[in-house]
Structure 1
Amino acid sequence: MSTGRRYMASVLRRLAVPATLIPLSVPVGLYAFAKLNPEKTTAYAKPVFLWLCAKLKTFHQERFCVLKEDVFSGLKKQDGRNLQVLEIGPGKGANFEYFPPRTSVIAVDPNIEFAQELEENSKQYPDVKVTKFVVAGAEDMSAVAEGSVDAVVCTLALCSVQDVDAVLGEVKRVLKPGGKFYYFEHVRHPSRTRTQYLQQLFNPVFYSLGGGCNLTRETWKNIDKAGFSDVKYKMEDNVRPKFIFHMLYGTATK
């Protein structure tokens, strides 16, 4: 090897360590700050964190739409004139485009402040009517009668509920016989060890800043043991960052 090449190799070796450590220091520093100063982290970092999560969802919107088209394909084919759908955590009504015309919707969310925002945004879907807004956690939907809805919809919400099994019990209770539960959630990767490690590492940050969001839930196991007569689901990991967006989606029939 020539003197010039040996010199360049030596320089690159010296730069390799700082070039690796500097990018790593940012997430490590944020993680340490969040662990040591939870109150300050919530006050200063939470708005930025939620903005970043919203941007990530927007970035993947096209891919999410493809997956949701698959999830809701059976629902869209139904006659909406007599269709009663209950949606858990409807947000701004982003799923309304997948509901058939004339669908009636019961919205369930613990935050009453979302009611007005939902009403405003749902105007772009005039063929879908929100008939009731229930202020409650999905673990206790006692304001909704047993066996009264044709379908329950839940997207990107089971990650942050307090008790997944209790929610699924309520889903079964409010569904009519033969009614379907449509779900679209991010979950713990079922097999990839590296991804599981990253999810476990970052879970405290997402939980504290993301409104109780969990990266490590194995939601498919909860659905499997919930007592539905038929469960169908798929998984999708072609969404970045992969340690967040390992998607579980499908249907469960009462």
Structure 2
Amino acid sequence: MASLLRRLARPAVLIPLGVPVGLYTFAKLNPDAASAYYKRGFAWACARSTESNNKKLQELKQDMFTGLKEQDGGSSSLQVLEIGAGSGANFKYFPPGTSVIAVDPNPHFDQYLKENSDEYPEVKVTKFVVAGAEDMADVAEGSVDAVVCTLVLCSVHDVDAVLGEVKRVLKPGGKFYFLEHVRHPTQAWVQSLQDILTPVFRVLSDGCQPNRETWKHVDSAGFSDVQYKIEGNLRPKVIMQILYGTATK
């Protein structure tokens, strides 16, 4: 009986492990083909997980976006640029009347963004820019009241370049609202596991690097005021060290 159970247990372990390993191998050997399929699939997966992700991060987002509502002050004329807008997961936290410039390098998010816009008609998407956040030339300097970025800086090519663009497009006194999963600030075993998993995450999760010390980049970006917290009580611990806060131009 014990021998039979061992034989049955093997495929139960090997099959789930084989899926990510197979996808990783395919992506490494066929990067162009993988990218064509992946971008479409990634947009679909993110759109379908919007509700569950918001539920997990609900308290942190409510805390962070309180400042956005205070910044609006009931004027219903807030101009927001959202980096990595994806399917519009943050629209539920924006004040009514907010106008949004959505920036995302994945063009397949456009259809899901429209679906979420229909669900939150009080938030108006005025422009969808297919671009990386390192160069948002289509957005004028000093043109937006706030920039929003959630779970994006882990996957950009150059964090410092992105923060430079954030400062450029913000009006004087404008605010940058960010929420990112980052490297564990103290626990060595978590840091080691994050380092081991990072190459796999980069391939399977659109360039995500869970071992980035993003707070150091924000601290050195030259904002006039920076305030943030790191929440480490979410699970799984290896990817849910959440940095969230605001930075003022």
| CA displacement, residues 83-134 of structure 1 (integer Å, 9 cap, x when unaligned) | 1000011111111111111111111112223223212221111111111111
Once the two structures are TM-superposed, the CA of residue 213 in structure 1 deviates from its matched residue by 0.7
- Percent of matched pairs sharing the same residue: 60
For these two proteins, the number of residue pairs brought into alignment is 237
Unaligned runs of 5+ in 1: 1-20
SS at match of 2:100: strand
Rounded Cα–Cα distance in structure 2 between residues aligned with 1:127 and 1:192: 43
The AA in structure 1 aligned to 2:153 is: L
**Contact 1:108 1:137 (C-alpha < 8 Å) held by counterparts:** yes
Distance 1:55 1:132 in 2: 23
1:177 maps onto 2:187 in alignment: no
1-structure distance, mates of 2:124, 2:187: 42
Q: Per-residue displacement from partner, 1:126-156 (whole Å, max 9, x unpaired)?
A: 1111111112110001111100100000001
Q: Give the match for residue 231 of structure 2.
A: 236
How far did 1:27 drift?
A: 8.2
2:105 equivalent among 86, 90, 110: 110
Q: How does 1:190-205 map to 2 (within 5 A)?
A: 190-205=185-200
Following superposition, which runs of at least 4 residues in structure 1 exceed 3 angstroms of deviation?
Answer: 21-37, 39-43, 49-61
Rg: which structure is higher? 1
CA contact (8 A) 1:96 1:125 kept: yes
Aligned equivalents of 1:55, 1:101: Cα separation in 2: 24
| Distance (whole Å) between structure 2 residues aligned to residue 59 and residue 91 of structure 1 | 15
Residue 57 of structure 2 aligns to a residue in which SS? helix
1:215 and 1:207 map into 2 onto residues whose CA distance is 9
Q: Where do 5+ consecutive residues of structure 2 fail to align?
A: 1-9
Query: In the alignment, what sits opposite 2:56?
Result: 63
Provide the residue aligned with 2:207 in structure 1.
212
Which residue of 124, 128, 149 maps to 2:119?
124
CA contact (8 A) 1:60 1:239 kept: no
So what's the TM-score if we normalise by structure 2?
0.82
Q: How do 1:26-175 and structure 2 match up within 5 A?
A: 38-39=28-29, 59=52, 61-77=54-70, 78=72, 79-175=74-170
Alignment partners' CA distance in 2, 1:228 and 1:149? 16
Q: Distance in 2 between matches of 1:30 and 1:147?
A: 46
Give yes or no for the alignment of 1:251 onto 2:246: yes
* RMSD of aligned residue pairs (Cα, Å): 3.1
User: Residues 80 and 100 of structure 1 are in contact (CA less than 8 Å); yes or no, is this contact kept in structure 2?
Assistant: no
